[in-house]
Amino acid sequence: MMIRISDITKSYKGVKAVDGLSLAVGDGELFSLLGVNGAGKTTTIKTMCCLCPFDSGSVEIGGFDVVKQPEKVKELIGVSPQETAVARNLSVYENLVLMGGVHGFSKEKSKNIAEEMISKFNLSKFRDMQAKKLSGGWQRRLSIAMALVSDPKVLFLDEPTLGLDVIARSELWDVIRELKGKVTIILTTHYLEEAESLSDRVGIMRDGKLLFCGKCDELVSGTGAKSFEDAFVKTVKEGKGE
Amino acid sequence: MKMTAFSSRVAKEIIRDPLSLIFGLCFPVVLLLLLSAINANVPVNVFDIEKLTPGIAVFGYSFLTLFSAQLVSGDRCSAMLIRLFTAPMSAADFILGYMLPLFPMAVVQSIVCFGTAMLLGLEPSVNIVFAVLLLLPSALFFIGLGVLCGTFLSEKAVGGLCGALLTNLTAFASGAWFDLSLVGSAFRKICELLPFAHSVYIGRNALSGNFADIFPDMYYVLGYMLAAMIFAVIAFMRKMKEA
Ligand SMILES: Nc1ncnc2c1ncn2[C@@H]1O[C@H](COP(=O)(O)OP(=O)(O)OP(=O)(O)O)[C@@H](O)[C@H]1O
Ligand SMILES: [Mg+2]
């Protein structure tokens, strides 16, 4: 197992953002975390990225404990945060080179990877434009590309397609499909068709708890719903947690 | 390697922000010109260029706090810092990365300030070099204070506290352009609990070659510098744990 979460709980001033959640994700698997706003998806991702100390339980990435060996975990992961995260005064190219640099890559290597990402994400038009001058969707694409620079073993994509146009979204899906099998991916999204078409398994969260964890067709057949979306709605409305 | 990659990015952010350059470099120069012009017409002792220049140099450093606080706070508020916290960088990589590009900035500020003063009649001497060097701990204090403020404050609060409040505090509590005891001995005593006036005294003594007299002022400045640096490091490391 690449990711192993055991019974973690995280509260913010009385609000349980994550409540006794356990989850295991295999090597090369694409796992989507679904759930309504405030369900605890981002918080769960943060605990896996060494960004959020939790109250109890444990999280292991690639066999390393995120609390005891964060430096090892950080070597393995790439993160595209829910909010677009780019250095505003740096150009697209410089942003990508910076990500190589902060992972300890040589200048040469960082530059080569930056060029690779620019072509993969069709950013060549904007190569030398400052990030703050890009439109929101293009900043978003850059933000996602930056998560891939370090060639991570585990990739976290928190609502990657938020704010992307239809073309950009389908291009991003292609990029994700290309990574499938090679990279373990944790994805969150509010587009259910996206989760259905990309994921190996999905998890549905509500109030910090995992209500369902399994394959999409299992969810549909288990709830007796007509579609994935119906099954999702049913689970969230009726589910009391495992 | 990681640190140099990060600090070169920080340097780019500073250089590409024209406002910071204008404030940090031009504002002190303008003040120097203005106050010497006043001095030429109404001779006031404290406006003598030898006394004025170290004061203006220290005043200029207060903008270093604004820059460094803006950098850290801006990264925090824009999720960029969250992203960087997921990279395998140590606290030292971050803190040095933020601070190092500001050292040359401090030196350039001093050179511009003392250079302008020489054009206005400050006698060139090797003491100017010593003054610039002996003012560096003050610059470090301001830089550390900036990282500390940026770790806690929002971008808006940074503008108010480090921009408006601290620069004014530096201007008035340092005695850069008036004798503190003119306001009263209580005011002077309070000001001398803070590092600003001591920094100016160090600069003035260095400039006139009275190197023995830089103590105890230097103890105050070094103490404040260490405190600012230590608190900045502690605060930042705590932030890294709970982004
Ligand atoms: N920094 C924080 N301080 C206080 N409460 C927080 C903080 N971050 C999250 N929460 C709370 O934790 C809960 C879960 O939030 P989280 O961001 O994980 O939800 P989410 O599933 O990602 O939602 P969304 O779909 O809107 O992104 C919410 O109730 C939220 O208010
Ligand atoms: Mg979220």
Residue B216: other Cβ atoms inside 10 A:
11
pLDDT tens-digit series, residues A56-99? 999 999 999 999 999 999 999 999 999 999 999 999 999 999 99
Q: Which residues of A touch B241 (CB under 8 A)?
A: 53
| pLDDT at site A242 | 44
Q: Read off the pLDDT of residues A2-33 as tens digits, 9 standing for 90 and up.
A: 999 999 999 999 899 999 999 999 999 999 99
Pocket test for ligand 1, best of A8, A9, A10, A12 (most atoms within 8 A of CB): A12
3 state SS of B20: helix
- Give the span between the Cα atoms of B202 and B199, in whole angstroms: 5
ipTM: 0.94
Domain ranges of chain A: 3-91+153-238
pTM value > 0.90: yes
Are A87 and B243 inside 8 Å of each other by CB? no
B82 contact A CB<8A: yes
| Record: contact A53-B241, CB cut-off 8 A | yes
User: Which residue among A87, A94, A100 sits closest to B80, beta carbon to beta carbon?
Assistant: A87
Q: Can you give the pLDDT at residue B242?
A: 77
Largest CA distance in chain A: 55
From the number of C-beta atoms within 10 Å of its C-beta (0-12, 13-18, 19+), residue B191 rates as: buried
Closest-lying ligand 1 atom to the alpha carbon of residue A35: 21
Q: What is the pLDDT of residue B46?
A: 62
Of the candidates A13, A89, A27, A86, the residue with the CA atom closest to the CA atom of residue A55: A13
Ligand 1 mean position, distance from CA B136 (Å): 44
Q: In this predicted structure, what is the pLDDT of residue A240?
A: 53
What is the mean predicted confidence (pLDDT) over A146-175?
Answer: 96
Percent of chain A with pLDDT over 70: 98
Question: Could you read off the pLDDT of B57-80 as tens digits, one per residue?
Answer: 999 999 999 999 999 999 999 899
Residue to test with chain A: of B4, B82, B83, most A Cβ within 10 A? B83
A76 CA to centre of own chain: 14
A37 CB near ligand 1 (under 6 Å): yes
The amino acid sitting at B151 is: T
Provide the β-strand partners of residue A33: A188, A203
* Residue to mutate, A8, A9, A33, A41, ligand 1, most ligand atoms under 8 Å from C-beta: A41
CATH number of this structure's domain A3-91+153-238? 3.40.50.300
pLDDT digits (tens, 9 = 90+) for B10-49: 999 988 988 877 888 898 899 999 988 888 888 766 678 9
B196 at A interface, C-beta within 8 A: no
Q: Break chain B into its structural domains and give their ranges.
A: 2-241
A85–B79: do the CB atoms touch at under 8 Å? yes
Residue A15 CA from chain centroid, whole number: 23
- CB B12 to CB A90 under 8 A? yes
What's the distance, CA B35 to chain centroid? 20
Higher per-residue confidence, B180 vs A205: A205
- Check whether B92 has a pLDDT greater than 50: yes
Shortest CB distance from B78 goes to which of A77, A88, A100? A88
How far apart are alpha carbons B147 and B157 in whole angstroms?
14
Q: Is B237 on the interface with A (CB under 8 A)?
A: no
For residues A173 and A194, is the Cβ–Cβ distance under 8 A? yes
What is the residue whose two structure tokens read 């796992």? A31
Give residue A241's pLDDT band: very low, low, confident or very high (50, 70, 90): very low
pLDDT band for position B243 (50/70/90)? low
